[in-house]
Amino acid sequence: MITLSIFSNIHQWLLGVLPDESTVHVVELITIALVYLALFALTGLFLVYAERRIAGFFQLRLGPNRVGPFGLFQTLADALKLVSKELTGTVKADKFLYHLAPYFVIISALVTLSIIPFSQEIQVFDIDIGIFFFAAVSSLGVIGIFLAGWSSNNKYSLIGGMRTGLQMVSYELSIGMAIVTIVLLSGTLQMSQIIEAQRHTWNIFQGHISSLIAFMVIMIASTAETNRTPFDLVEAESELGAGFHTEYSGMNFAYFFLAEFINMFISATIIVVLFFGGWLSPFGITDGIPFMGAFWFILKVAFIIFLFMWFRWTFPRLRIDQVLKLEWKYLLPINIVNVVFMAFLVWMGLTL
């Protein structure tokens, strides 16, 4: 749970107001859930804005700059439009699964948020198998996308959903192996301890070339996992309409869209925790100052997200056979060799 002093004050106050400790616990959990929901709806909106703005600069345009200062409220207006829209659907769709699918995607994205350490104090759920929990829960999202593709009763949606199945199941393997490489180095699965193990040197420098290879692999695999552009053949606009969410409109579509951006945020946070020392400041320059942990964390995450966007506006889309070739012929063999190499480094004590 969050261990900030202000929160312990609230905890004491709630203990005084409410009858017993279990009620206080439930109230606190619900409050945190609501705060996180609100916070990440805003984060998603901001990321959509940032994506469009950055895309503009890459393409010698300006991007949205009309609504509010620097166009900051553009995506808010878009979201309001989506909320007010009618929920349409196909006549022969499998209604139950059709309406269930977006919740699978958004809930699996939101559950993963609970293990993210924003700073030393701000972490909702510091479970001792944290990174394993991430790998397990984030895989649930693929079911939602698959259900959406299947239940829409539309051939483009189905092709999009099938491609998702292929792609996400393949690339999860690479993410898992890259995580294993770093777990070997840190010797723990708990998020806070992985960060604590990097206090003298970040993991990306600790493991020499092995860490660097793992970082490159996880960057590529995360891009594929979040269905972003070099690997966006799930929704390849020119071939499949909008892929698995062709038949969705209004809020159901917005859930998919928001989940995509929250997933990108989560992938970036996992990379920051594994390789760039989470909330640790470089060389410990701001160790004594409160709340600087969250600042450094957000800064690093923003940089990784910028890298994702940079990929998106640079590389052309891969074909489905190229996607599978990249995973099974290149990333996976490299990764397996890399895990063995990292194990050797750790065994011989050659890490920094």
Q: Which residues bind other proteins (CB under 8 A)?
A: 54, 56-58, 60-62, 216, 310-311, 313-315, 330, 334
Least distance (Å) between residue 187 CB and other proteins: 29
Radius of gyration of the chain (CA): 21
3-state secondary structure of 108: helix
Q: How far is the CB of 332 from other proteins (least distance, A)?
A: 13
- Give every CB contact of residue 5 below 8 A, 6+ residues apart in sequence: none
Termini Cα distance of the chain: 32
Residue environment code for 125-137, b if the CB has 16+ CB neighbours within 10 A, otherwise e: bbbeebbbbbbeb
CB of 275 to other proteins, least distance (A): 18
98 or 308: whose CB is closer to other proteins? Answer: 308
Q: Nearest distance from residue 58's CB to other proteins, in Å?
A: 5
3-class DSSP assignment, residue 25: helix
- 61 or 200, CB closer to other proteins? 61
| Nearest CB to other proteins, comparing residues 57 and 291 | 57
Q: Which is nearer to other proteins, 96 or 310 (CB)?
A: 310
Among residues 274 and 331, whose Cβ is nearest to other proteins? 331
Q: Could you tell me the smallest distance in angstroms from the CB atom of residue 333 to other proteins?
A: 9
DSSP string, 296-343: HHHHHHHHHHHHHHHHHTTSPPPPHHHHHHIIIIIIHHHHHHHHHHHH
Produce one character per residue of 289-319: b if its CB has 16 or more CB atoms within 10 Å, e if not. eeeebbebbeebbeebbeebbebbeeeeebe
The pairs formed by 347-351 with CB atoms below 8 angstroms and a separation of 24 or more are 350/208, 351/185, 351/206, 351/207, 351/208
Q: Is the dihedral of CA 263, 167, 252, 242 positive or negative?
A: positive
Please give the Cα distance from 149 to 245 (Å, whole number): 7
User: Closest distance between other proteins and the C-beta of residue 335, in Å?
Assistant: 13
**Minimum separation from the CB atom of position 314 to other proteins (A):** 4
Return the number of the residue (123 or 210) whose C-beta is nearest other proteins: 210
- Rounded distance between C-alpha atoms, residue 82 and residue 76, angstroms: 10
194, with CB counted inside 10 A (0-12, 13-18, 19+), is buried
Kindly report each contact of residues 282-291 with a partner whose C-beta sits within 8 Å and lies 24 or more positions away, as own/partner.
284/199, 291/119
Least distance (Å) from other proteins to the CB of residue 210? 15
By beta-carbon proximity to other proteins, the closer residue of 56 and 176 is 56
For other proteins, which is the closer residue by CB, 232 or 247?
A: 232
Whether 72 contacts 111, CB under 8 Å: no
Provide, rounded to whole angstroms, the least separation between the CB of residue 216 and other proteins.
8
Nearer to other proteins, 194 or 332 (CB): 332
Both tokens assigned to 68: 């509010």
